[in-house]
């Protein structure tokens, strides 16, 4: 029971950090400086206000200084990721090392999704460094996937065509390339299928001309990791 609580708390921290990182990236703030502050009045927040889930209820959903409403995006992300990490832990009977890799993959995808959600772009440095570090842990799998050169070549051609005709941004292409290297051809195709379907439904409902695609791809990733 204790380990489940720890996993849930870890998930809430990751959810909170990803939303914070994405918002700061979109507004050109460093992840380290300045300290967390109210988005409306910019007064620094007390440390215990930053506790995932609990901080929102301590403040009763409003800034204690200017009384502006606090966005529930972080609250929802914290709860969902805490629940997801717990579910992932309970459903996957795997080695601790593989579990650490999976949690790292989820956090990487979540941060990129938050960046794309807030700004319709991602940090290519974070995308490349994070993807490369994850790839080191899956080197044996990458060698196996690339051994089937026909699928690898087909996937590269498809990504090139989508990028050439501006159907995918460079960040989307790099993200998908890393997912292919980490998870293989078929899994990545399922991710694209789920992501494209959910993105199409979102576009149909909200009729937005530009929508962030990485969050929908990450949704597909999270579904398939369970």
Half-sphere exposure of 103 (CA within 13 A, CB side): 24
Give the model confidence (pLDDT) of 207-220 as tens digits.
777 889 999 999 99
Q: Residue 198 has what pLDDT?
A: 95
**Proportion of the chain above pLDDT 70, given as a percent:** 92
Instruction: List the chain domain ranges.
Output: 1-91, 120-226
pLDDT digits (tens, 9 = 90+) for 1-48: 789 999 999 999 999 999 999 999 999 998 888 888 888 888 888 888
Q: Is the pLDDT of residue 140 over 80?
A: no
Question: Per-residue confidence at 142, pLDDT binned at 50, 70, 90?
Answer: low
* Whole-number pLDDT of residue 184: 80
Q: In which residue are the tokens 């300290």 written? A: 35
Secondary structure (DSSP) of 33-101: SS--B-TTT-PBPPGGGGSTTHHHHHTTTB-TTT-PBPPSHHHHHHHHHHHHHHHHHHH----HHHHHH
68 C-beta neighbours (distance < 10 Å), count: 12
68-106 confidence digits (pLDDT tens): 898 899 999 999 999 999 999 998 877 888 888 999 999
Over the stretch 96-121, which tens digit does the pLDDT of each residue have? Answer: 888 889 999 999 999 999 999 999 99
Residues 6+ apart with CB under 8 A from 109: 214, 218, 221, 222
Q: Residue 124 corresponds to which tokens in the numbers above?
A: 């290519």
- Report yes or no on whether pTM surpasses 0.85: yes
More confident residue, 15 or 144: 15
């Amino acid at each position: 029971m204790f380990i489940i609580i720890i996993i849930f708390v870890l998930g809430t921290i990751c959810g909170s950090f990803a939303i914070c990182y994405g918002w700061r990236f979109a507004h050109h703030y460093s992840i380290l400086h300045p300290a967390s502050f109210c988005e409306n009045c910019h007064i620094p927040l007390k440390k215990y206000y930053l506790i995932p889930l609990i901080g929102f209820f301590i403040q009763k959903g409003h800034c204690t200084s200017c009384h502006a409403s606090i966005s529930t995006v972080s609250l929802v992300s914290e709860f969902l990721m805490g629940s997801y990490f717990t579910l992932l832990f309970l459903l996957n009977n795997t080695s601790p090392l593989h579990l650490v890799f999976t949690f790292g993959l989820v956090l990487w995808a979540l941060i990129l999704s938050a960046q794309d959600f807030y700004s319709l772009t991602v940090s290519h440095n974070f995308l490349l460094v994070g993807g490369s570090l994850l790839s080191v842990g899956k080197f044996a799998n990458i060698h196996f996937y690339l051994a089937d050169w026909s699928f690898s070549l087909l996937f590269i051609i498809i990504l090139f065509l989508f990028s050439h005709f501006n159907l995918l941004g460079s960040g989307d292409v790099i993200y998908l390339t890393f997912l292919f290297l980490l998870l293989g051809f078929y899994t990545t195709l399922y991710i694209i299928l789920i992501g494209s379907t959910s993105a199409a439904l979102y576009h149909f409902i909200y009729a937005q001309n530009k929508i962030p695609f990485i969050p929908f791809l990450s949704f597909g990733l999270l579904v398939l990791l369970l």
